[in-house]
Structure formats: C-alpha cells, structure tokens
C-alpha cells in the first residue's frame, strides 16, 4: 500500500515546543496506517531564511516551505495541519534577525525607513514575512470553526471563571464617527477580467504609481477606503479626555500582526497623541535617534538608552502618565504598558479576555479597573460595543448553560482586509488615490491628505459562492440557525449581501433558518439565543471570523485553543488549524524560566483526528479511519479525565498531557475490532504505558522547576528542544519501539 501524507507544520514559540513532544508520538502511531508525516518549517526564522538565500552559505539555505505549501493547498490530495505561528510585528522581526545574525547567518538589517534602492529591495523582501504572511498563502478555502461536542460538554460540566459585570461599569468602546475606513469605504463588483493599478495624483501635479498592474477577475468585489490621520488623532484625544474624566484606564486594541501596514500606523498615532507634549519637546532628539511612534514605547526606551537626555525623557513620560489617564498594562510586574509594543495587545484576544473578565484590564499595581477601549475604525468596533452593552444589561454569561456559536468564515484566496497588505499605503501628500483599470479608467478613488492610510481590498467570487454553500451545509447538518453578519451600511458588505442573496437561491432552504443581519443586531440576537442555551452559526467575513472565533470560544470554553478549525480547501484538500496562538509567548517564557509548559495541545489532538478522518475518506485508507475513530475516543477520555496541563509547576504539563493522550489512543486502538493487525500491534504498547504510568509521570514532573536552555527563541537548537520536551526515558523507549 502506498503511503499517504500529512504535512504537520513547524511553527513558533509554545506550539513549536509542543511539537517536539507530540510529533514523535504522531509519527509512531500513524506509521501503522502507512502514513508519512512531513514537517515543513514555516516559523518566522524559517520564513526569513527562505527569503534571503543569497546572503547565506550553502549549508545555511532552507527551502521555501511556505510557497510549497501554498501550491499544495491548491491540490486535491492536500492534507495540512497548521499550528499557530508568529504573525510578526517589526520589533519581533528585528529580534529574530538579530538572533539569526548572532548564530552566524549574514542577514541584512531590516531598514524600517529605506533610504536608497538597495534598502527598498531589502525592505520589500522582509515585508513578505511580516504580519499574516502564512495564513493568506495556505487558506485556499473557507473556515469551519466549532467546539466539538466533547469539548463543549466538558466546559459545561467544568465551567471556567467569569468576572462579574456590573450595570454601572464605566468600561466603554471608543471609536471614530468620521474619517475612518468604514466612513470612507467605496466598493464595486468587477464585470470582466482585467487589470488594475493604484496611482496617487498629488494636488501639486505629481504622480506616483503605488501598485503596478495586477489582475482582476470577473465577479470579484474591490473596495477602497481611507483612514484620515488628522481625524484619527482628534478622535484619540477625545478618547483620552473621556478616560480621564471617567477616571478609568485607557487602552488601545488593534491587530498590528495581521493588519501589518495600517495598524502599526494607527498605533503610532495613539502613542504620539497621548505623549504629544513629549514628542513636541524632544522633536529634534527623536528625529536624530530615528524614533518612530509606530514602534511604541519599548523601541523608544531602547533608542534613548545612554543618551544624555534619557533621564529627562523618561521623567516626562512618567509625568504624562501620572497626569492621566492611566494606561492599561500588558505586564504590571515588568512595567509593560498597553502602548509599549503594537503586537502586544491583539484586539480579538484582548477584548475577549476583557469581556470574560467583567470589563476589566490591569493597572500598574496589578489591580483590575474599568477602561476606555480605543478601537478607532467603526467597521468592527460596533461588534464589541454591542457585547459590552449586553454584559452591562444582562451580566456575565454562565458557561454551564451558554449555547454554542460555531463560525463559517469567508477567507479563501486572501479575501477582504487580510489580503490588503500589498495594497495599503501611507500617503505622502495631498491629492487623490485612484484604482484604475488597464485603460486608465478610475474604478475607485479617494481624496487623501498627507499621512492618511489608503487601503484597497479584493474578494473573489468563487470563495463567496463556496462560503454560502458551506454555510447552508453546516446549517443543514447541525439543524442550527445561521446568521450572515453583514452590515448593509458598509459599502463592501452591501456588495456581499447582493451575492449572498443571489447564491442562496441555488439551495433548497426549506426548514432552514438563515438570516442576514447587521453586525450589532447579529451580536445581540446571537447572545440572546446563547443565554437561552441555543446554538447559532455565525457566518462572517474574514476579519470578523477572527474576532468571533476568539470571543465566543473564550466565553464558552475559557479558551479559543480548544476549537476544531477545519478549512475545506476549494480543490478538495483539507487544512486543519489547531486554534489560536495568543497565549503562546507567555507559555514559552514560563517554560524557559521554570521548565513548565502550560500550552494545551487539545487543538492539535482535534486537528489530527479530523485530518486522519479526511485522509481516510479521500484516499480510501481504512487504517487511517481506525486511527481517527480511536483518537476521537481518546480525546473524549482525555477531557473526561482532565489531563490538560495544570496551572503551575508540580502538576501535569504539556508533555504529561501528550503521554495521557498517547496512552488513551493506544488503549482505544488495542480494544477496537475493525482491524486485527492494528489491535495486535498496540496491545503491548497500551499495556506498557499503563504499567509504567507512575514512573513516566514521575520522570516528566522531575524535569520541571528549573530554567531551560533550548538554544534560541526564534531558531532553537533541535536537539536541545527534543531533550527538553522528551524528558521521560521510559516513555521514549515505548514510543520508539512502536
């Protein structure tokens, strides 16, 4: 029998560590079904090295695994398990480059503001690894995210802690009322195949091509919008005044990792407005030190270190904070504010944590307070305002009775804003930006002022058709109402609504409850139903998909890492995602300090089960089906016996949870009756694990409690990683013997 293949991605931080414990188990078990596991490296370090082969020695060069996986995703036999990776901010990119340089890789420095043609070329090459470089390449299908029944049942029986919401909570969402992307957006549907380019026409008669000829497909929707920088700064000042007047914290919530061009600029505007007296007083000093507010306080502090004015600048920064409003903290113990690094506070994770926590964030003393949440653009701010208002009216949700909110998300082929990076620009002067066709006819245009952020997005027709089909199928299969979250007041959504209404007519909707609702209304209706214990499928666009699949899982389950995330690829393959990685940096930091990895790999277990099931169906591999069914059984027992990582050193950690999953999986395989060969193969394995359970646990826990050296953060030493993540000789012997 020829081998089937699963591509199990190697990524970053905590998921990367977990892989070095779990992957040997996966390889050993799947070998019995003639399955090969390939491990393409799509980590931040791997992506950097793949983009700069001409700077490396022959023995340092690495394949461009991401491009290869992108090609594979268009093939019918694709089977990819995708773990969370770093969506790098500029500070993270610079840290990774520095680490690689220290290891002997002769990479060029990142030129944040390129001064010449050579630096512009290097800047554009590094741009390929910034932000959401991975997801748009691999997501050749739309998203189907939901909590498996076993996970939901466990969460109801073992509810996580919810903070108390009070009716008089001062927490609020602050957003712009003019000059934002929502207010300026225009949109149109393309009738014929063609080309487009983006051109800036200055009021002074200048002309600059921002993006040269690129293809358009018939039926696709294109949008353009502008964030007016002056309106943004005026809004931020209003939010500052509001927080000071209310005597609450001030926080900013953006997506600088995914929206890697626009959101760091917006973040910079928040920082510069809050500290405007400091930036004005030290304008010449900051200019000489090349300080850019987009990189936050962390980079500012690094650049003033050792400068004669360092103490004075720090004192003025502290004085500004003391005069208020107080800034919410990312890490109170280390003095890291919400304004330190743009990628530290990611809106979907931070706002979900705030809602779960009763509307609170942390102050500098490590105590919880209400906050004014800056989410400048109205496009999604209303989503968060609606849930905050609902919590004030109705109180915190009860995970024991709360319904489930699975999501069907439009994301294939770089749909919507997450595909906008190469079409987003900060404008250099006053004038007009036009999106022109090959004949020079303006398809879309925007008046702009110097410093404004222009953005163009594309959404192809085939992904929309596939998204509607997926939504109808999910509604039928689960007998659950489905709501399309589309705001008729938004130009882009108005175009999408026309397509949804058209393509829904292709299906028999008898007995189905499928609705289209504005985002705020959809949130309130979904919450009302969930509080009544009813399930509702949310059907949403790409960015909202991200926000919904953090918010509701965190409310329902306490974490978004336990979601089953399937991407049925449009050409027949499967992409299986393992959950969100927002907590990954904290977990690897804890591991390096005290040898304890709290990362929960349940997402990996669920994805592997779905991957094996898909492989069995598409390649007629009956042994893969046996493995899949047994893993499903093992996952249920894993939850029932509560073998996820404990909270602190001395309890079971990530490595211990892998052992128990392996033991339950071996037990299920030994006891199944569909394949006698597999049963015989795993009977001694299950017996050995059960007989040595106490010894293996002792060996795993003995490895905790001391600092770990894995030879690097962005590019660790593989042998050191395996040594750290496989500390039980007894378990290794059993796994290696399979």
d(CA 414, CA 215): 14
Is pLDDT larger for residue 345 or for residue 413?
413
Is pLDDT larger for residue 402 or for residue 131?
402
Terminal C-alpha separation, the chain? 19
Any residues with CB less than 8 A from the CB of 547 and at least 6 apart, and which?
347, 348, 351, 380, 383
**CA 183, chain centre distance (Å):** 26
pTM score: 0.84
d(CA 546, CA 538): 12
Distances (CA, A) of 14 to 19, 447, 582: 9, 45, 10
Q: Looking at 359-441, which runs of residues are DSSP E strands?
A: 360-362, 368-374, 407-409, 424-426, 431-437
How many helices (H) and strands (E) would you count in the chain?
28, 24
d(CA 8, CA 10): 7
66, pLDDT greater than 80: yes
Which residue, 459, 407, 262, is CA-closest to 347?
262
Q: What is the pLDDT of residue 284?
A: 95
Q: What is the mean pLDDT of the chain?
A: 94
Q: What is the pLDDT of residues 405-446, one digit of tens each?
A: 999 999 999 999 988 989 999 999 999 999 999 999 999 999
Helix (H), strand (E) at residue 22? helix 13-30
Give the CA count within 13 Å in the CB-facing half-sphere of 391: 29
pLDDT class of 2 with cuts at 50, 70, 90: low
Name the token pair of 571: 């050409």
177, pLDDT greater than 70: yes
483, pLDDT greater than 70: yes
Q: What is the pLDDT of residue 564?
A: 84
Query: Order of strands, edge to edge, in the sheet holding 564-568?
Result: 35-38, 4-8, 79-82, 574-577, 564-568, 143-146, 407-409, 537-540, 482-485, 514-517
Q: What is the pLDDT of residue 630?
A: 97
Q: What is the pLDDT of residues 272-313, one digit of tens each?
A: 999 999 999 999 999 999 999 999 999 999 999 999 999 999
Which residue, 490, 211, 171, 222, is CA-closest to 358?
171
pLDDT class of 514 with cuts at 50, 70, 90: very high
Q: What is the pLDDT of residues 191-212, one digit of tens each?
A: 999 999 999 999 999 999 999 9
Q: What is the pLDDT of residues 592-613, one digit of tens each?
A: 999 999 999 999 999 999 999 9
Q: Rounded to the nearest 5°, which phi and psi values hold at 375?
A: -130, 85
Which residue, 222, 229, 223, 224, is CA-closest to 179?
229
Query: Dihedral sign, CA of 652, 564, 580, 79?
Result: positive
DSSP secondary structure code for residue 679 in this structure: H
pLDDT class of 582 with cuts at 50, 70, 90: low
Q: What is the pLDDT of residues 31-46, one digit of tens each?
A: 999 999 999 999 999 9
Lowest mean pLDDT among 257-261, 354-358, 422-426: 257-261
For the segment 92-118, the average pLDDT, to the nearest whole number, is 94
d(CA 525, CA 546): 19
Q: What is the pLDDT of residue 105?
A: 98
DSSP secondary structure code for residue 132 in this structure: S
DSSP secondary structure code for residue 422 in this structure: G
Stated length of the chain: 738
585-590: long-range contacts, CB 8 A cutoff, minimum separation 24: 585/13, 585/14, 587/13, 587/14, 587/17, 588/13, 588/14, 588/17, 588/713
């Amino acid at each position: 029998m020829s081998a089937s293949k699963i591509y199990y991605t190697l990524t970053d931080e905590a998921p990367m560590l977990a892989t070095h414990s779990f992957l040997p188990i996966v390889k050993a078990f799947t070998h019995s079904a003639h399955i090969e596991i390939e491990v393409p490296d799509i980590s931040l370090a791997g992506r950097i090295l793949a983009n700069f082969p001409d700077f490396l020695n022959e023995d340092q060069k690495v394949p461009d695994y991401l491009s290869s996986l992108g090609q594979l995703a268009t093939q019918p036999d694709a089977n990819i398990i995708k773990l969370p990776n770093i969506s790098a901010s500029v500070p993270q990119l610079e840290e990774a480059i520095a680490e690689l340089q220290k290891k002997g890789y002769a990479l060029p420095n990142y030129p944040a503001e390129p001064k010449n043609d050579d630096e512009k070329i290097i800047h554009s090459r590094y741009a390929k690894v910034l932000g959401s470089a991975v997801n748009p390449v691999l997501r050749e299908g739309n998203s189907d995210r939901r909590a498996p029944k076993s996970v939901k049942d466990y969460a109801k029986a073992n509810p996580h802690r919810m903070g108390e919401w009070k009716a008089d909570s001062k927490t609020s969402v602050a957003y712009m009322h003019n000059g934002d992307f929502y207010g300026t957006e225009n949109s149109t549907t393309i009738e014929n195949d063609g080309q487009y380019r983006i051109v800036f026409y200055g009021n002074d008669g200048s002309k600059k091509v921002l993006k040269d000829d690129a293809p358009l497909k018939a039926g696709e929707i294109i949008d353009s919008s502008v964030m007016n920088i002056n309106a943004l700064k005026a809004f931020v000042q209003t939010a500052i005044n509001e927080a000071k007047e209310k005597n609450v914290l001030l926080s900013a919530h953006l997506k600088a990792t995914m929206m890697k061009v626009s959101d760091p600029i917006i973040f910079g505007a928040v920082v510069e407005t809050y500290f405007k007296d400091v930036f004005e007083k030290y304008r010449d000093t900051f200019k000489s030190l090349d300080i850019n507010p987009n990189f936050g306080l962390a980079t500012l502090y690094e650049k003033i270190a050792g400068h004669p004015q360092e103490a004075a600048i720090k004192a003025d920064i502290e004085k500004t904070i003391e005069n208020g409003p107080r800034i919410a903290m990312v890490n109170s113990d280390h003095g890291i504010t919400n304004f330190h690094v743009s990628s530290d506070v990611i809106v979907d994770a931070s706002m979900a944590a705030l809602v779960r926590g009763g509307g609170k964030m942390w102050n500098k003393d490590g105590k919880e307070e209400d906050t004014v949440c800056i989410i400048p653009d109205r496009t999604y701010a209303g989503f968060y305002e609606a849930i905050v208002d609902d919590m004030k009216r109705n109180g915190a949700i009860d995970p024991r009775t709360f319904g489930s909110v699975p999501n069907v998300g439009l994301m294939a082929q770089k749909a919507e804003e997450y595909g906008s990076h190469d079409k987003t620009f900060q404008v250099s002067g006053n004038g007009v930006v036009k999106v022109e066709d090959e004949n020079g006819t303006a398809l879309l245009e925007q008046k702009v002022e110097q410093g404004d952020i222009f953005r163009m997005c594309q959404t192809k027709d085939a992904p929309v058709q596939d998204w509607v089909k997926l939504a109808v199928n999910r509604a039928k299969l689960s007998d659950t109402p489905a709501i399309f979250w589309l705001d008729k007041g938004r130009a882009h959504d108005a175009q999408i609504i026309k397509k949804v209404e058209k393509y829904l007519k292709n299906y028999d909707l008898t007995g189905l409850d499928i609705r289209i609702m504005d985002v705020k209304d959809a949130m309130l209706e979904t919450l009302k139903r969930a509080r009544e214990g009813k399930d509702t499928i949310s059907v949403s666009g790409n960015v909202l998909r991200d926000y919904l699949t953090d918010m509701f899982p965190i409310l329902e389950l306490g974490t978004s890492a336990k979601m089953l995330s399937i991407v049925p690829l449009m050409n027949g393959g499967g992409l299986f995602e393992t959950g969100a990685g927002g907590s990954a940096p904290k977990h690897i930091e804890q591991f390096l300090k005290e040898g304890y990895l709290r990362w929960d790999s349940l997402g990996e277990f669920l994805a592997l089960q779905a991957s094996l099931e898909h492989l069995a169906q598409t390649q007629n591999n009956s042994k893969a089906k046996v493995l899949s069914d047994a893993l499903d059984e093992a996952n249920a027992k894993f939850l029932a016996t509560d073998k996820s990582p404990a909270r602190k050193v001395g309890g079971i950690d990530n490595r211990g949870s892998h052992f128990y999953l392996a033991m339950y999986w071996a037990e299920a395989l030994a006891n199944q009756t569909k394949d006698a060969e597999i049963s015989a193969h795993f009977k001694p394995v299950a017996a050995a694990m059960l007989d040595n359970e106490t010894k293996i646990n002792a060996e795993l826990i003995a490895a905790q409690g001391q600092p770990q050296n894995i030879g690097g953060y962005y590019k660790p030493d593989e042998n050191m990683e395996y040594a750290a993540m496989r500390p039980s000789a007894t378990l290794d012997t059993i796994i290696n013997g399979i």
